[in-house]
Copies of this chain bind each other. A is one copy, B any other.
């Protein structure tokens, strides 16, 4: 700007005024300054502008697990949309489920003075963010609640959805239901598992731990876990997969071996209705979910502090046919008699 000012024969401040469309500048000077700026290839530096004026950076941070997962990429897309409506850009960072990395990324984002944070928490202690929150950086937690910190949170009705899913399988006559889940350390997995247990308990069906397979991280391991479960001498007649990645792996394996086990998955996904087997899913509106969180964030960015709110969005059992349980008094029964 100094160079432009010298070149145009005006003061620094006048250049600033022209660049910012400020009033009270002669047209002739405006033209001169713009010409000089163009000639010298002047590019405004937003960092300096932000620093001096104390304005916002027009940036928000989104911390998720991994963008490649369609669940998170949809969230990222919606967050970017909402951000755009507020003339804001989005920095997306992946924690890869690593609490240390999460903390480091959040600190980094804070030091970049983002206007707000949208966080799918991975770690189990977010008290290090307390100072930020108290100092007024808006934070909204998504999909999982933060621990050690009060803040806006948007969740799904994981428990209710899982309960309905298992309920449905029980109604169809299934008694041996295999459950595949990612790490029990993840909030959503715990909740969904609890919901499943509630449904079993309510139906008076014993909770068989050997039918629960934890630590299923991706479609590949889900396929393996499915295979192992079906290869048992007393295989389940139905599977309940606790997230979309696991469901995909289970579908592949069931299809490969032409098994007729029933399958209900948590999370809907594109093309789920075209799967080679009838696939009932616990569905919800991911975009609505993400939009709620993003709008909560901007509300806080624009209006300032309020009491932390928690929003829980409903889920819906989307039935696409469900193979029935085999006739009673088969292996399953006998096994349970042991």
Query: Using a CB–CB distance below 8 Å, which chain A residues touch chain B?
Result: 41, 43-48, 50-51, 57, 59, 66-68, 70, 73-74, 76-77, 80-81, 84, 89-94, 105, 108-113, 131-132, 135, 248, 251-252, 255, 270-271, 274-276
CB-contact partner of A59 in B48, B91, B276, under 8 A: B91
Contacts of A112 in B (CB 8 A): 46-47, 59, 89
Name the one of B47, B93, B110, B275 contacting A57, with C-beta atoms under 8 angstroms: B47
Our pick among B57, B67, B113 for the contact of A76 (Cβ within 8 Å) is B67
Across-interface contacts of A270 in B (CB, < 8 A): 248
The CA of A1 and the CA of B196, in the complex, are separated in Å by: 53
Beta-carbon contact of B91 and A93 below 8 Å: no
Q: How far is the CA of A130 from the CA of B31 in the complex (A)?
A: 22
Copies, count: 2
Q: List, sorted by A's number, 26 A–B pairs whose CB atoms are closer than 8 Å.
A: A43-B110, A43-B111, A43-B131, A44-B111, A45-B113, A46-B112, A47-B57, A47-B112, A47-B113, A48-B51, A59-B91, A67-B67, A67-B77, A70-B70, A73-B77, A84-B94, A89-B91, A89-B105, A89-B109, A248-B271, A251-B274, A255-B274, A271-B275, A274-B274, A274-B275, A274-B276
Cα-based distance from A76 to B67 in the complex (angstroms): 7
Please tell me if the beta carbons of B80 and A94 are within 8 angstroms of each other in the complex. yes
Shortest A171–chain B CB gap in Å is 27
> Are A92 and B76 in contact, with the CB atoms below 8 A?
yes
Q: Within the assembled complex, what's the spacing in Å between the Cα atoms of A76 and B92?
A: 9
Taking A46-B113, A47-B57, A90-B91 as known contacts, 19 extra A-B pairs with beta carbons closer than 8 A to each other, sorted by chain A number, are A43-B110, A43-B111, A43-B132, A45-B113, A46-B111, A47-B112, A47-B113, A67-B73, A68-B77, A70-B73, A73-B73, A76-B92, A89-B105, A92-B92, A248-B270, A255-B274, A271-B271, A271-B275, A276-B276
A68: nearest chain-B partner, CB-CB: B77
Q: Shortest Cβ distance from A61 into chain B, in angstroms? A: 8
Known pairs A73-B76, A92-B92; A131 contacts B274 (CB<8 A): no
Q: Which residues of chain B are near A94, meaning CB under 8 Å?
A: 77, 80-81, 84
Q: Are A45 and B248 in contact (CB under 8 A)?
A: no
CA distance A70 to B205 in the complex (A): 41
Closest to A92 in B: B92
